[in-house]
Amino acid sequence: MGNINVLHLFPNVKIVLLSDDCLIFLLPKTHRHEIHIERLVEGPHCGLIPIGMPSTGTTATGLRWNLDNASMSYGGLISTSNIVEEDTVTITSDSDLIWTISLRN
């Protein structure tokens, strides 16, 4: 959890958390994000998790279960078990989000 906290504390620094089976980075609410998926090494499992505050408007395309101005919060909807369907995933939100994606072995 300390590493996730670092992402939240330094939103202006591009920090990528990498393990053997996934990578994680922050999607600041101040941007529209286009994530280009490297299918040979990334996916298909992914997730979007609000950090710092609930989201009252998150939109995501390119996923099996796209989000259309969805509200997300702990205790409510959190998109932790989604699937990448397209080569580009586009995300906007009124809250900072954590993006997670599995890595292929």
State the pLDDT confidence band at 96, using cuts at 50, 70 and 90: very high
Q: Show me where the domains of the chain are located.
A: 1-45+78-86+95-105
| pLDDT the model gives residue 2 | 78
Residue 66: strand, helix, or coil: coil
pTM: 0.92
Judged by average pLDDT, the poorest of 2-16, 23-37, 75-89 is 2-16
The one-character DSSP state at 2 is: H
Would the pLDDT of 1 be above 80? no
CB burial of 44-62 (b: ≥16 within 10 Å; e: otherwise) equals ebbbbbbbeebbeebbbeb
- Above 90 in pLDDT, residue 10? no
Kindly report, residue by residue over 20-40, the tens digit of the pLDDT.
999 999 999 988 999 999 999
Mean pLDDT calculated for residue range 52-61: 95
